[in-house]
């Protein structure tokens, strides 16, 4: 409202506290303001369609962003689970290598035992001979090798 309308209204209020129909009619006629005011132009159909499309696209964008955050969260959970499984697999593989080495060693012992049994390399004695011990000093076998302090290098075993 312009200052002219406000001044007119104040003067009417001060003159008479109860408004009559004339005062109200005058007030309505005097309340029209003069000057350059912003006028809202009527909304065209094109603008209404553009606003509706923009709102729809904004909703679609927000929905897409929400779906993206949820899928990123799920992907990170799966990656964490895969990393945990990978470390478990590495641990199990190292245990498996140790167990495989033990198994190979036992198999080699078993193979040697089977071969020895197959070719009868170790045979049991057919006959046991019992010998009585004699208390004679001459019966003790002595070594004829001279004792020397010098060390001779040996090649091989």
Residue 20 included in any domain: yes
Tens of pLDDT, residue by residue over 39-67, are 777 889 999 999 999 999 999 999 999 99
Structure tokens belonging to residue 26: 């005058």
Write the DSSP symbol of residue 55: H
Q: Is residue 50 part of a domain?
A: no
Q: How many residues does the chain have?
A: 157
- Looking at the domain assignment, is residue 131 inside a domain? no
26 is in which domain, residue-wise?
1-39
Domain-embedded: residue 84:
no
CA distance to 27, 45, 116, 134, per residue, from 56 (Å): 46, 17, 87, 117
- Tell me which of 35 and 61 has the higher pLDDT: 61
Average pLDDT value for residue range 141-149:
61
Model confidence over 111-143: pLDDT tens digits? Answer: 777 777 777 666 666 777 777 766 655 555 656
pLDDT at 69: 97
What does pTM read for this prediction? 0.39
- Is residue 14 in a domain? yes
114 vs 86, higher pLDDT: 86
- As a whole number of angstroms, the distance between CA 125 and CA 36 comes to 133
Q: How many distinct structural domains can be found in the chain?
A: 1
Distance between CA atoms of residues 70 and 73, nearest Å? 5
Is residue 95 situated within a structural domain?
no
Residue 58 is assigned to a structural domain of this protein: no
Is 2 part of any domain? yes
99: left (phi over 0), alpha (psi -120 to 50) or beta: alpha
């Amino acid at each position: 409202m312009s200052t002219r309308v406000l001044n007119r209204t104040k003067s009417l209020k001060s003159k008479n506290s109860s408004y009559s129909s004339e005062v109200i009619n005058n007030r309505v006629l005097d309340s029209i303001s003069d000057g350059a005011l912003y006028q809202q132009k009527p909304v065209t159909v094109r603008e209404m369609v553009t606003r509706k499309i923009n709102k729809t696209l904004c909703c679609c964008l927000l929905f897409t962003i929400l779906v993206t955050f949820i899928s990123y969260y799920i992907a990170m959970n799966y990656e964490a689970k895969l990393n945990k499984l990978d470390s478990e697999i590495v641990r199990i593989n190292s245990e498996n290598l140790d167990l495989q080495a033990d198994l190979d060693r036992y198999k080699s012992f078993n193979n040697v035992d089977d071969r020895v049994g197959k070719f009868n390399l170790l045979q049991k004695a057919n006959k046991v001979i019992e010998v009585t011990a004699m208390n004679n000093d001459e019966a003790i076998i002595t070594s004829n090798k001279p004792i020397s302090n010098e060390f001779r290098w040996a090649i091989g075993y």
